Amino acid sequence: MANYLAMNRDELTAEKAALEAEYKKFQAKGLKLNMARGKPGPHQMDLAMDLLKMNDYTTDAGTDARNYGELEGLQEARVLFADVFGVKPEEVFVGGNSSLQLMYNLVNIGYVFGFPESPCPWSQVEKRKFLCPVPGYDRHFAITEEFGFELVSVPMTPNGPDMDIVEKLVAEDPDIKGIWCVPQYSNPDGYTYSDETIERFAKMKTAAPDFKIFWDEAYIVHHLTDEIIETPVLLNESKKYGNENRVFMFTSTSKITFPGAGVSAIACSESSMKYICKRFSVMIISYDKMNQLRHVRFLKNKEGVLAHMAKHRRRLVPCFDAVKTAFKNNLIPCGDIAHWTDPKGGYFISLYVMPGCAKRVAGLCKDAGLTLTGAGSAYPYHKDPQDSHLRIAPTYPSLDEVETASELLCICVRLAVAEKLLADKAD
Ligand code: PMP
């Protein structure tokens, strides 16, 4: 292996032929591997099976969790999530199994009714816009796209979104109604917002009085190292500036217990809580409180959650290491053809390949039996202007599979880059 960027045409042609031969060997294996979505593996979900043994449905207050009531969630579930978020129980709303659905519902409320501070419902803002730090989570972007918002990209940095750009945009344009954020172990880069970024979000001036920060703490306790990274709590910071009504924080136990049958939560100001409860009460009488209670009895408190996450970590770290080792051994010697993130938590690694190659890499992988998230999907409208980014999700496959998939992925990256460099030389 040598630096591809220093190779002449003949050397590149020979390298490409060698890679094609290796690629064919992988194709002949008839692989069926998937590193597309951030799903826990079966062993991780097995860790939570005792949750189903929790079959006592009398709450701490003596009420019956099987019945209707307590729309905001069981008190003990609000206490648990308050502990995880770092806020007060009165500021927590506990929902059903999906935080994404809560986010959708809140955008929907803004769209149909607006919020108490809204001059009009968002649907009546003809050029409504939403800020999307990129790369980001495709399902966030899909929600605001579906409601007709223009998706405005803001570049991510290792400290969070570029705040100079965010502050300027939101100060000038009242049609910008909100921003999607994954502040801890972001999807897909695995970056954690710095204290300064959080402070700037808390105090920034917005032209829209009803600007909302959708602060998705999907990975708040999903540490991959011994370091338990904790950041300032946006809701609490915002109160210092009287901006607490702009914040909606979200989390869920999808990647703590079961993605299909966990519990989700919102944290917001008490005044926002009153407003959303009024709207939600028309939609639903109460969520699945039996599941809420099972989760509280199983996880107990934040300490219990962290102890449970340490068990996940033991399985996940080798999978993340396998990907990074393969990249280091197989890509670094080829020169500056790719770089990648080194997350301290969360579910993803971002791989940035030479611009113009990501789609080709994903296509090559697919034809050899490895499914990746579509190239470009971490960008609004699925358009990565550089065609460079790939989101790698090493959590679902077994360690053996991750190792094979990573090797194949490296061959595909090198082949796509060799093809591109040869094509560039032909121009
Ligand atoms: N937010 C982020 C950032 C995610 O990565 C995911 C799952 N991949 C979700 C939300 C989905 O959460 P839930 O299962 O609670 O709907």
Name the domain boundary from 301, 323, 344: 301
Enter the tokens of residue 4. Answer: 């591809």
Q: Which residues pair with 64 in a beta bridge?
A: 58
Q: Which atom of ligand 1 is nearest to the CA of 187?
A: 3
pLDDT recorded at residue 70:
96
Question: Quick one: pLDDT at residue 55?
Answer: 84
Q: How far is CA 46 from CA 166, 218, 311, 314, in A?
A: 42, 20, 11, 14
Report yes or no: 164 and 315 within 8 Å, Cβ to Cβ: no
User: What angle (nearest 5°) sits at the alpha carbon of residue 266, between those of residues 262 and 268?
Assistant: 165
Using CA positions, which residue lies closest to atom 1 of ligand 1?
A: 218
d(CA 264, ligand 1 centre) in Å:
10
Q: What is the CA radius of gyration of the chain?
A: 23
Q: What is the ipTM of this complex?
A: 0.99
Confidence at residue 284, expressed as pLDDT on a 0 to 100 scale:
98
Residue-level pLDDT at 105: 98
Q: How far is the CA of 244 from the centre of ligand 1 (A)?
A: 23
Look at ligand 1, atom 11, and give the residue with the nearest C-alpha: 100
pLDDT of res. 56: 87
What residues make up the domain containing 149? 54-301
- Residue located nearest, by CA, to atom 4 of ligand 1: 218
Cβ–Cβ under 8 Å, residues 299 and 256: yes
Which residues have any ligand 1 atom within 6 Å of their CB?
Answer: 38, 98-100, 137, 182, 187, 216, 218, 252, 254, 259, 264
Distance separating alpha carbons of residues 347 and 38, to the nearest angstrom:
6
Rounded distance, CA 75 to CA 94, Å? 9
Residues with pLDDT less than 50, the chain: none
Residue 284 bridge partners (DSSP):
none
Distance between CA 1 and CA 335 in Å, rounded?
10
Query: What burial letters (b/e) apply to 63-73, b meaning 16+ CB within 10 Å?
Result: eebeeeebbbb
**pTM to 2 decimals?**
0.97
Which one of 254, 255, 347 would you pick to mutate in the ligand 1 pocket, going by the greatest count of ligand atoms within 8 A of its CB? 254
Distance 426 CA to ligand 1 centre (A): 44
| Closest approach atom of ligand 1 to CA 101 | 16
Please check whether residue 229 lies inside any domain of the structure. Answer: yes
**Closest by Cα among 145, 114, 98, 119 to 276:** 114
Sign of CA dihedral 362, 363, 364, 367: positive
Report if residue 250 sits inside a domain: yes
β partners of residue 251: 265
Do residues 292 and 318 share a domain? no
**Residues with Cβ < 8 Å from 69, sequence gap 6 or more?**
63, 285, 286, 289
Among 301, 316, 339, residue at a domain's last position: 301
Based on the fold, state whether residues 175 and 85 are members of the same structural domain.
yes
Give the number of other Cβ atoms within 10 Å of residue 383's Cβ: 12
Question: Does residue 274 share a domain with residue 316?
Answer: no
pLDDT of residue 176: 98
Whether residues 287 and 339 fall in one domain: no
Could you write out the three-class secondary structure of 259-298? CCCCCEEEECCHHHHHHHHHHHHHHCCCCCHHHHHHHHHH
> Does residue 362 fall inside a structural domain?
yes
> Are residues 35 and 69 located together in one domain of the fold?
no
**Tens of pLDDT, residues 56-82:** 899 999 999 999 999 999 999 999 999
Say which CATH number the domain at 382 has.
3.90.1150.10
Domain count, the chain: 2
In whole angstroms, give the CA distance from residue 378 to residue 365. Answer: 18
pLDDT of residue 37: 83
Q: How far apart are CA 243 and CA 256, in angstroms?
A: 31
Assigned domain for 133 exists: yes
Burial class (CB in 10 A: 0-12, 13-18, 19+), 335: middle
From the list 427, 403, 419, the residue with the least C-alpha distance to 358 is: 419
Q: Nearest C-alpha to atom 2 of ligand 1 is from which residue?
A: 218
pLDDT of residue 315: 94
Identify the pLDDT of residue 396: 94
- 254, 275, 301 - which closes a domain: 301
| pLDDT at 35 (0 to 100) | 93
Tens of pLDDT, residues 370-424: 999 999 999 999 999 999 999 999 999 999 999 999 999 999 999 999 999 999 9
Cα angle for residues 238, 242, 233 (degrees, 5° grid) = 15
Residue whose tokens read 């042609």: 13
Is residue 18 domain-shared with residue 91, that is, in the same domain? Answer: no
Helices (H) and strands (E) counted in the chain, each on its own, are 13, 13
Sheet containing strand 338-340, edge to edge, reads: 338-340, 349-353, 389-392
- Ligand 1 pocket: which of 252, 287, 292, 391 to mutate (most atoms within 8 A of CB): 252
